[in-house]
């Protein structure tokens, strides 16, 4: 499959108001000359991002305020956008996490995490996938999962569960696709320095987190190079290789110790 040329093509980026999504939107516009449709709940952040991109390049930027936990709104948005624009790629990036003991999570928080990371993402992925499967022009979806999909993370148990769902679903779906011009790519980063990991509870884990500009650069390469799955960072890839050779129970207990230490009194 040829690389995906995004020059002057429309790309949808969810969760573009901060972190990885924001940085991917900037790089897609400034380095790949893509036109972008940026989505999140915080409209003001999206407006600021649009102004920033407009100063840097001539790519078109369209803003949509959308709560991806609302599956009806996701359906309406997706159908509208695919009818109105010739979309070439979707970057399914919006996600929610927490850091702490599962017993401390209230029902609202648990449902919000499930609704964003699973229900909303699943709805958008399904609609865009159905569209791209039947399209003749080259297209792609980049699903942002996590290394937590391979190695369940204590104190982020629900989060890593949702990322494993997303990984397994998108991976399996990719093999149902018989369109040689369309690829579902899955990106599985380790820790990244973003708003998501800015809380002081993450302090002891920050030293091994990837700068967001590098994580974004690798993510876009995963999409345009049509990779099925990609882990960014040499040490993440080596670590992942060895972690598959070691008993999962040992990894789980070591991760629990490390994460509990970082949580400190919040555990």
Ligand X SMILES: NC(=O)c1ccc[n+]([C@@H]2O[C@H](COP(=O)([O-])OP(=O)(O)OC[C@H]3O[C@@H](n4cnc5c(N)ncnc54)[C@H](OP(=O)(O)O)[C@@H]3O)[C@@H](O)[C@H]2O)c1
Considering beta carbons, is residue 21 or 140 the nearer one to ligand X? 21
Residues 99 and 225: their CA atoms lie apart, in Å, by 33
Binding of residue 18 to ligand X (CB under 6 A): yes
Residue among 144, 223, 229, 263 that touches ligand X (CB under 6 A):
144
Question: What is the distance, to the nearest Å, from the Cα of residue 124 to the centroid of all Cα atoms in its chain?
Answer: 13
> Cβ atoms within 10 A of the Cβ of 245, count?
6
CA dihedral (198, 210, 169, 257) in degrees, to 10, reads -70
Residue among 4, 6, 13, 20 that touches ligand X (CB under 6 A):
20
Stretch that binds ligand X, among 168-176, 186-194, 221-229, 247-255 (CB under 6 A): 186-194
CA angle 215, 221, 225 (to 5 degrees): 155
Stretch that binds ligand X, among 2-10, 38-46, 122-130, 231-239 (CB under 6 A): 38-46
Binding of residue 192 to ligand X (CB under 6 A): yes
Considering beta carbons, is residue 35 or 69 the nearer one to ligand X? 69
Stretch that binds ligand X, among 5-13, 41-49, 222-230, 247-255 (CB under 6 A): 41-49
Q: Which of 44, 99, 90 is nearest to 68 (CA)?
A: 90
Which residues are CB-contacts of 35 (< 8 A; sequence separation ≥ 6)?
Answer: 8, 9, 10, 11, 29, 59, 60, 61, 62
Positive or negative CA dihedral for 22, 27, 33, 34? negative
Binding of residue 153 to ligand X (CB under 6 A): no
Considering beta carbons, is residue 18 or 71 the nearer one to ligand X? 18
CB of 87 to ligand X, least distance (A): 18
Residues 104 and 131: their CA atoms lie apart, in Å, by 40
Strands (E) in the chain, as ranges, are 10-14, 35-40, 61-65, 87-92, 139-144, 182-187, 229-230
Residue among 6, 9, 17, 122 that touches ligand X (CB under 6 A):
17
Binding of residue 51 to ligand X (CB under 6 A): no
Binding of residue 84 to ligand X (CB under 6 A): no
CB of 180 to ligand X, least distance (A): 28
Binding of residue 41 to ligand X (CB under 6 A): yes
Residue among 13, 26, 28, 68 that touches ligand X (CB under 6 A):
68
Query: Using an 8 Å Cβ cutoff, are 119 and 70 in contact?
Result: no
Residue among 138, 174, 189, 233 that touches ligand X (CB under 6 A):
189
146 φ/ψ angles, rounded to the nearest 5 degrees: -170, 160
Chain residues that interact with ligand X, rule: CB under 6 A: 15-21, 40-42, 45, 66-69, 93-97, 116, 144, 146, 189, 191-192, 194-197
């Amino acid at each position: 499959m040829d690389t995906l040329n995004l020059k002057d093509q429309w790309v949808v980026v969810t969760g573009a108001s901060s972190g990885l999504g924001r940085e991917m939107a900037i790089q897609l516009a400034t380095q790949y000359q893509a036109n972008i449709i940026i989505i999140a709940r915080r409209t003001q952040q999206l407006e600021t991002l649009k102004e920033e991109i407009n100063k840097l390049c001539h790519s078109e930027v369209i803003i949509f305020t959308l709560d991806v936990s609302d599956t009806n709104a996701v359906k309406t948005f997706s159908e509208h956008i695919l009818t109105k624009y010739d979309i070439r790629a979707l970057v399914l990036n919006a996600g929610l996490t927490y850091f702490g003991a599962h017993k401390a999570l209230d029902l609202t928080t648990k449902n919000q995490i499930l609704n964003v990371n699973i229900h909303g993402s699943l709805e958008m992925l399904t609609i865009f996938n159905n569209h791209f499967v039947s399209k003749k022009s080259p297209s792609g979806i980049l699903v942002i999962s996590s290394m937590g999909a391979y190695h369940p993370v204590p104190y982020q148990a629900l989060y890593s569960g949702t990322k494993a769902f997303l990984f397994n679903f998108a991976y399996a779906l990719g093999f149902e696709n018989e369109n040689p011009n369309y690829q579902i790519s899955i990106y599985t980063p380790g820790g990244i320095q973003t708003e998501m990991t800015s809380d002081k509870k993450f302090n002891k884990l920050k030293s091994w987190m990837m700068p967001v500009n590098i994580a974004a650069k690798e993510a876009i390469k995963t999409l345009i190079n049509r990779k099925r799955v990609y882990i960014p960072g040499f040490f993440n890839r080596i670590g992942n290789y060895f972690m598959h050779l070691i008993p999962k129970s040992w990894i789980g207990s070591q991760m629990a110790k490390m994460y509990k230490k970082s949580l400190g009194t919040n555990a």
